[in-house]
Amino acid sequence: ARNFFEDKNYSKATEMLERIISELLKSTRFADSNYYLAESYYQLSEFNKAELAYKRFIDNFPEDKRAIIAIFHLGRSFC
């Protein structure tokens, strides 16, 4: 999923990340999956889905170093 994200294939990334997230517990991979899912939706301009994914990431991982980026992109999703 991360390779698809890095290749800017956000549609495939969201497909894989949705599946991965449903299978993982709260772990490093779960945090990564949530973050990249939100970022993928953001890059696809699917801002409603990005908003939900960013909120889930921020709520579940407020201490993660990427939380500040998620908050920033969450705000930009409303523009």
Q: Which residues of 33-66 are buried (b: 16+ CB within 10 A; e: fewer)?
A: bbbbbbbbbbbeebbebbbbbbebbbeebeebeb
Residues spanned by the domain of 34: 2-76
Report the pLDDT value the prediction gives residue 45, as an integer from 0 to 100.
Answer: 93
Q: Where are the alpha helices (DSSP H) in the chain?
A: 2-6, 10-23, 28-43, 47-60, 67-76
pLDDT tens digit string along 37-73? 999 999 999 999 999 999 999 998 999 999 999 999 9
Residue-averaged pLDDT of the chain: 89
How far is the C-alpha of 8 from the C-alpha of 48, rounded, in Å?
A: 19
Q: How many domains does the chain have?
A: 1
Report the pLDDT value the prediction gives residue 48, as an integer from 0 to 100.
Answer: 94
Tell me the pTM.
0.69
Domain of residue 40, CATH code: 1.25.40.10
Distance of CA 74 to the CA centre of its chain: 11
pLDDT above 80 (res 78): no
